[in-house]
Amino acid sequence: MAGSALKRLMAEYRQLTLNPPEGIIAGPVSEENFFEWECLITGPDDTCFGNGVFPAKIAFPTDYPLSPPKMQFLCELFHPNIYPDGRVCISILHTPGDDPTGYESSAERWSPVQSVEKILLSVVSMLAEPNDESAANVNAAKMWREDRKQFEQIADRLVRKTLGLPLTATS
């Protein structure tokens, strides 16, 4: 099973290098380990995450693409769909099939037709448009709904931190 997963990951990596999505760099940590990738994601323009550069890792199971990978940001991010430890909570990364809570349809969840590129583009979209109804970080979701200005100030401070910029007096 790991052999077919490796072939698939190599093909997806080749595709990403030939036609990289704007604002995303991703690839295996090493040639010896195609099951762990590192990536840099640029925050979407015209959002409070714009201009930020966010490092993350993706860990692929040996039965990929039958099972979804796990993704985790390696920097501090305050976002409704990112756990405080950086793990990403997004439908496309949830186990295939019916959602036991009934919140997501099976079409929204992982499917072997998904790809690394689709995952990364979905995460960029999630940064721009959080789903505060299905929060991994309840405090961020509550602030997103109730005090957008404060949420954006926290996001701006963390964006500046990822870039190594000094924090402003309002951050």
Local structure of residue 132 (DSSP, 8 states): T
Active-site hit among 39, 48, 75, 89: 89
What's the length of the chain? 171
Contact indicator for 82, 136 with CB cutoff of 8 Å:
yes
At CA 128, angle to CA 127 and CA 130, rounded to 5?
Answer: 65
Residues 6+ apart with CB under 8 A from 107: none
At CA 153, angle to CA 141 and CA 74, rounded to 5?
Answer: 70
Query: Is 89 a catalytic site residue?
Result: yes
Phi and psi based region of residue 76 (left: phi greater than 0; alpha: psi -120 to 50; beta: remaining)? beta
CA atoms within 13 A on the CB side of 25: 6
Could you give the residue numbers annotated as active site? 89
